[in-house]
Chain A
Amino acid sequence: MFLMPEDITAILLTLKLAAVSTAILLALGLPLAWWLARTSNRIKPIIETLIALPLILPPTVIGFYLLLAFSPDNWLASHWQQWFGTSLAFSFSGLVIGSVIYSLPFVVQPMQSSYERIPKLTLLTAASLGANKVDQFFSILLPMTKRSTIAAASLAFAHTMGEFGVVLMIGGNIPGETQVISMALYDHVESLAYDRAHVLALTLLAISFFSLLIIYAIDRRGSSRNKNSDLRIRHAGH
């Protein structure tokens, strides 16, 4: 059993998608989680609901609406086309957007609850010592929630790796552009190429296994050393 070049392309593309999505998820999700943890704004429940929606919606529903949003007659997609010269539908960029939306709750929810567990006085004390908001984030918040940040990133990464429904709707199956492992696997099964399906499935299984192992190892180490373990993986069905 060997990996064929197209399969390697699919694996690399999937890793790239997961890596890019995770980076964006952290850049977007951590400030969002901090804002949610601190605000008493009236629109907070609405934002929380929107973020949690991907947990219960079938991925195909999200994919369907994204596909509509990406269609060239939509103003967002047409502007994108003007600025970047590429279409969002059936493109890698489109996949990244879909993955970020789809995995957002896996970053925001655990980070929000771990930020909520940091005493308000700790941050106020830092402020009184001369730390502004950005300084507080990097010098207090981030190091104090290091373990849950790593865990949330791993979870987002693993979750993006295994994505299928959203990709099916908005990405299609273009090798090197949108053909991720799960799509290639589906193809192989359709064409009864079970050997190649095995290799891909095993690869995905291994990556997922080790991603989750990292999360639980971190969580265990944290809970044995520190009572305030700030990670509870909230899981949801697909």
Chain B
Amino acid sequence: MLDININETLGNLKLNVDTSIASDGVTAIFGPSASGKSTLLNIIAGFHLPHKKHSNAINFNGQSWLKNTATEPFFHRPIHQRRIAYVTQTACLFSHLSVEKNLQYAIDRRLMDTKNNGEFNNRINIDFNDICTRLKIHSLLAKFPEQLSGGEQQRVAIARALLSAPQLILFDEPLSALDENNREEVLHHLEQLHQAFRIPFLYVTHNLEELMRLADHVLLLKNGQLIANQPIGNILSDLSLPLSQQQNSGVIIEGPVALFDDEYQLLKLNLGNGHFLWISDANASTKPPHNIRIRVYAKDVSISLKAATQSSILNIIPAVISEISEVKNGQAIVKLNCDNHLLLSRITAKSIQQLGLVVGQSVFAQIKGIALLGAA
């Protein structure tokens, strides 16, 4: 558990964040640019020292990292004693060392730390070969950082972070400097790694796609203020929060796979109560995962009062209207509850009026498109 109470003024930014961050899964720090995301991350890492005139406190699993109150003396745990790893936008590999030596750098210091403190983090078993295989960097080991592409550099940086066996990994928009192909590849690796290693990630991003694919919890920042700290499902579907109002708003749903239909290449996601969703999975030649995470955009969900029987739409499920947002530009977002799974539907104000939609009404959600994000 990471408890933070941070108050800092930096230029025009007034940062005030008082909250607790879960010690498992991916916690995303999300917000528009200049909302203080990176500053918050840098203060947690110890890269930025908040001004002594503000009161600040950071505690990680009972260990104090920063303490500055009126009554007690200023305390700041040095970065190298924090058992963290930090992955930056530009990989920040050591240019005078080969890829292998870069990785060794992290291992050496972890071993030294283990020897000095006599403690070893048994929870996380980190193996050099395993990491290299997972991140596909075996062929890069002899090269120097300047010989690598941006995506390769970032993969090495992530491997180096893992090999230092940290108790927390901080990411500062690690994909923002990459082109589309490299982004996709590194994002894929991050999804896999967060499944494989139970190391908590603290992940700064302003990209909704990354948020939907990676995050379990979200810290929502705006102008340096914390607006919400909730599970991703709540953040995306909360009509009072800005994310549900964005053009590409939507929800993610996680659930168990009931079966894989080989003939049509479809996964069947069990929503419970005898309700299912069909999701096409093009590369399901491999064994389908037990649990999956899917994304449904609000614009892909329409509402009908009767279940259409003759329709090309595969997924039509019963749902109850739980909330209707204010109308903006002739459109509104309708929040639907289907067996405790939430859906958003973006429809016109005219449709709402014509169908007479009200909160509590039973309807059918017609889902035109579902994206399979990965294993959950």
B92's contact among A122, A130, A131, A139, by CB below 8 Å, is which?
A122
> A144–B85 contact, CB under 8 A?
no
A144's contact among B46, B47, B95, B106, by CB below 8 Å, is which?
B95
> B80–A128 contact, CB under 8 A?
yes
> Counting CB contacts under 8 A, is A31 at the interface?
no
Contact residue range for chain A? Answer: 10 to 19
For the complex, give the distance between the alpha carbons of A126 and B79 in Å: 9
> A129–B105 contact, CB under 8 A?
yes
Residues of B within 8 A of A144 (CB): 94-96
> B92–A132 contact, CB under 8 A?
no
Residues of A within 8 A of B113 (CB): 130
Q: Would A128 and B110 be within 8 Å (CB), given that A119-B92, A121-B92, A122-B92 are in contact? A: no
Chain B residue at minimal CB-CB distance from A127: B79
For window 56-109 of B, CB contacts with A under 8 Å fall at 78-80, 82, 84-86, 88, 90, 92, 94-97, 105-106, 109
> B88–A125 contact, CB under 8 A?
yes
> Counting CB contacts under 8 A, is A140 at the interface?
yes
For window 78-133 of A, CB contacts with B under 8 Å fall at 119, 121-122, 124-132
For the complex, give the distance between the alpha carbons of A169 and B160 in Å: 57
Task: Encode B19-60 as 1/0 by CB contact (under 8 A) with A.
Answer: 000000000000000000000000001110000000000000
> Counting CB contacts under 8 A, is A143 at the interface?
yes
For the complex, give the distance between the alpha carbons of A119 and B95 in Å: 11
> B95–A121 contact, CB under 8 A?
no
Residues of B within 8 A of A128 (CB): 45, 79-80, 82, 84-86, 164, 170
A contact patch SS: helix
Chain A residue at minimal CB-CB distance from B88: A121
For the complex, give the distance between the alpha carbons of A131 and B78 in Å: 10
Chain A residue at minimal CB-CB distance from B47: A124
Chain A residue at minimal CB-CB distance from B146: A226
Chain A residue at minimal CB-CB distance from B111: A130
> B80–A130 contact, CB under 8 A?
yes
Count of chain B residues with a beta carbon within 8 Å of a chain A beta carbon: 26
B106's contact among A122, A129, A135, A140, by CB below 8 Å, is which?
A129
Task: Encode B310-344 as 1/0 by CB contact (under 8 A) with A.
Answer: 00000000000000000000000000000000000
For the complex, give the distance between the alpha carbons of A125 and B89 in Å: 12
> Counting CB contacts under 8 A, is B112 at the interface?
yes
For window 6-50 of A, CB contacts with B under 8 Å fall at none
Chain A residue at minimal CB-CB distance from B109: A130
> B78–A143 contact, CB under 8 A?
no
Task: Encode B150-168 as 1/0 by CB contact (under 8 A) with A.
Answer: 0000000000100010000
For the complex, give the distance between the alpha carbons of A131 and B113 in Å: 10
For window 106-136 of B, CB contacts with A under 8 Å fall at 106, 109-110, 112-113
For the complex, give the distance between the alpha carbons of A122 and B93 in Å: 7
Extra inter-chain contacts (9) besides given A122-B94, A124-B47, A143-B96, CB under 8 Å: A119-B92, A129-B85, A129-B106, A130-B106, A130-B109, A130-B164, A132-B80, A143-B97, A144-B95
30 contacts between A and B (CB under 8 A): A119-B92, A121-B88, A121-B92, A122-B94, A126-B94, A127-B46, A127-B79, A128-B80, A128-B84, A128-B85, A128-B86, A128-B164, A129-B80, A129-B85, A129-B109, A129-B164, A130-B80, A130-B109, A130-B110, A130-B113, A130-B164, A131-B105, A131-B109, A132-B78, A132-B80, A140-B94, A140-B96, A143-B97, A144-B96, A146-B96
Report which A residues bind B (CB closer than 8 A). 119, 121-122, 124-132, 135, 139-140, 143-144, 146
